Every structure is written in C-alpha cells, then in structure tokens.
Amino acid sequence: MSQDLTTFVYLVASVCFIMALRGLSHPKTSLQGNRFGMVGMTLAVLATLATPGVETYFGIIVAIAIGGAAGAFIARTIDMTALPQLVAAFHSLVGLAAVLVAGSAFYAPEAYGIGTPGDIKTASLIEMAIGAGIGAVTFTGSILAFGKLQGLITGKPVVFAGQHLFNAVLGVAIVLLVVLFAASQPVWVFWAIVLISLALGVLLIIPIGGADMPVIVSMLNSYSGWAAAGVGFTLGNNLLIVTGALVGSSGAILSYIMCKGMNRSFFNVILGGFGGEAGAGSADTGDKSVNSGSAEDASFILANAGSVIIVPGYGLAVGQAQQAVREMADMLKGMGVNVRYAIHPVAGRMPGHMNVLLAEANVPYDEVLEMEEINRDFQQTDVAFVIGANDITNPAAEDDPQSPIYGMPVLKVDEAKTVLFIKRSLSPGYAGIDNPLFYRDNTMMLFGDAKQMTEGIVKALEDQ
C-alpha cells in the first residue's frame, strides 16, 4: 500500500474514532459509537499491516491471536461489577507498552529511522523520554488503582508528612533528567526516568480516597492516551498520535467535568492531592437506631406513592438487580406511579457504570436523569428508592464540614418524604464513612441483597 493511501485510510480511521467518541457520549447512540470504533480499529490494523515496513506477518498474527483470544475470554466472563478494575488493568498495559516501545527505540534507533545508538535525534530523545515517563506513571498508577478497586489493598487514603513536596521534587527531577537525556543521551538517565516515574505513579494514587476512585479511573484513561501519543511520535505513526491525543484529551475533559461535579480541584487530581487532606471518617454508629422494614412494608409504601425516584448505586451492580428493578418500576407505572431514575456522575466505580446496567435492563432513556436534572425534585417526591448508593447520598457532604466528602454534591434523597434504602448492613461505603441518612426518621432500611429484596417487593406488589 502506498504512503498516500495509508495516510488516507488513517484519516478515515481517525474520523471513525471521533464519531465513536461522539456516539459513546449518550446511551442512545452508544451502540453506534461502538460500531464506529470497531470499523476505525479494523481499518487502522489493516492499513498498518499493509505498510511496506512490515517484513513478516508471523509474529504479528501470533500476537493478535493471543491478545484477541485473551480479550474475547475476558469480555465474555467479566462481571459487570469488575469493569472498573478491568479498565484500570487495561490502562496499565498501555503504559507498559509505551515504556517498552521507548526502550526499544532507544536501543535500536535504526529500526525507527531516528538515528544510531549514541546519535539519536534530539526531538526523538525528548519524545521517547516523555512517552516512557508518562507510560511508567500510567503503568504503576493503574496497577495500584486496580488493587484498590479489587480490594487487594486498602481503599482508604495513604498519606505521609511532606507527601506533596516529595511528589513535586520527583516531578522536577524527571524534568531535569529529560533535559540531560536530550543533551547527552546516557543509558542510565533513561532508566532513571523510568524508575522515578514508576515510583511517582504509586505516590500519585495512594493518597486517593475510595469515593474519588471514579475520577482517578478517568484520569488514568487520559494518561494512557498521552502515553499512546508518545509511542506514536516514537514510531512516527500519525494515527497513533491522533488516537492517543483523542483518548488523552477526552479523558482529561471527562475528569474535569467529574471534578466540577464533585467540587474537587482538577489540578489536585493531576498531582494526586485530593482525598488525602482528611482521613476517613468513623464508622461508629454508637447507640443510634434505625427503622428497618420488609419487602412487604416497602411494597405497601411504593404502591401508595404518587412519585418514586430510584437511585442506583454499587449495590445494584453487586446484586445484579437491574432486571428486577425494571420489573418493579414497570409494575409501579402500571399502578399510575411516576417512576424516574437519578444518576450521580460517580455512581458505582467508574463513569457511566449505572447507565450501562440500566441500559442492559432496557430502562427507557427518558426516565434516566442526571443529578442536576432531578435533584430539585426530591422535595416533591413521595419515595426515594436507594439501592446500595451510599456515599453519593450521604447528607454529611452538605451538613458536616469535618466530613472527608464535605463539599461533594450528592443526590438529596433525604428531602423525599420517605427513603427506602436497600443495603446488606450499616457498614460504611467505599469512602469509609458512616451515612447519617440511615438513622433519620423518614428512612426505612431494607437489609439484604438488592436483587432478592427487589424481587420480594415485586412479589408483594403482585399479591396486592
């Protein structure tokens, strides 16, 4: 394939990726967006395989077969609750690839047309140093995020005195080493950049508290995009540069939007600062009591309500209760009840987590509303039906200046006339803090698995 034709196909693939991002911005067009992404990736792979620089296909075919088989197996077997940690794990692979490609280009520059060992172009040295640095930060940061989301390590912030200053010193050291590397290209400097960046990736993520992990997943997505763009510069591949920039910028924009939604500083996220200023609150419930009820109690309240807002959280994902919730909502609508869904921007463990689950259950899109669209309506709502959504409904975010999540916008479910809250126990949410909503007079706790409890409510509604 000629260079001009390759460039044209790359351009078409880039347009497909842009259309994919546009489609994925809304549940109604997400399937179409996925199709655009698949077409763009197919065109990109085929055009790359047809370039004159490819000398043998055996190794490429073996790699595609192994990677494709692993991807297909993971896609078919992964639980919906494990998607956030899966995304974090995939980000780590992008970061590792960036480091390996940079190392390969440094040791065999002739293969990339960027010079000879000891005499590499200055621009290429800067590109591979920055690509390796961002890739190393992404690699260890994503592994740590995976460990936190998987529960392998504590989800609470890990902080120490002078942490931010130490991170800043490491950042300055990396910049100075990049300058030294571009000036004289010693081997030890390249690996020093990689090692310090690996350490920085860990240090940026460990102070992040559990409630803020969705933002970090989004930010790591951005880092992986910029790492891919760095690889594109090293390989001289325009499509990889464009694709990496699209992923990097879209991830950064999404992180910025989420930071605004959580009343967080965007720059503190980049520097790994937020979540560590305050420790996790106490989960001590003292002698406080709660009102607990059964599925039959809940069905009576719901059947006599005029309006219900369903608030899905991580408990919905754990219990895989989306189909049962849809069935319950359909029955209530058949009784004349106005049923809607409220989505917090960080509900679950990653952006869009709840939207995916509700779409899987074919919940009508016009019934699913974002926080800013529905938060005012809780005051006029008869029942707020909360399913394991702990931190994003915690009124301490507005009432308690000492709370670690103070200032984070939450769904104001406590303003509804009655709150039905499905939860297995009174244990704190992922942020590790108690929720005073449990103990309020207008709250009825429905202890149990989300799916079993909702199915019990459906059965009770049928018996009425």
Active-site residue set: 391
State the Cα–Cα distance between residues 40 and 430, nearest whole angstrom. Answer: 37
With residues binned 3-state (H G I as helix, E B as strand, rest as coil), the percentages for the chain, rounded to 5, are 65, 10, 30
How many Cα atoms within 13 Å fall on the side-chain side of residue 416?
A: 31
Helix or strand or coil: residue 290?
coil
Q: Which long-range CB contacts under 8 A does 322-327 form with residues at least 24 apart?
A: 322/357, 322/358, 322/360, 322/361, 322/363, 323/361, 324/450, 324/451, 324/454, 324/455, 324/458, 325/361, 325/363, 325/387, 325/454, 326/358, 326/361, 326/362, 326/363, 327/458
**CA separation for the pair 436, 243 (Å, rounded):** 45
Strand, helix or coil for residue 228: helix
Each as own residue / partner, the long-range contacts of residues 163-169 (CB below 8 Å, 24 or more positions apart, any chain) are: 163/203, 163/207, 163/276, 164/271, 164/273, 166/203, 167/200, 167/203, 167/204, 167/271, 167/272, 168/271
Alpha-carbon distance of 422 to 316, in angstroms, equals 9
For 367-391, give one letter per residue: b (16+ CB within 10 A) or e.
ebbebeebbebbeebbbbbbbbbbb
Q: Which residues of 256-287 are buried (b: 16+ CB within 10 A; e: fewer)?
A: bebbebbebebebbbebbbbbebebbeeebee
Pair 72, 204: CB distance under 8 Å: no
One-letter amino acid of 164: H
Query: How far is Cα 317 from Cα 135, in angstroms, rounded to an integer?
Result: 31
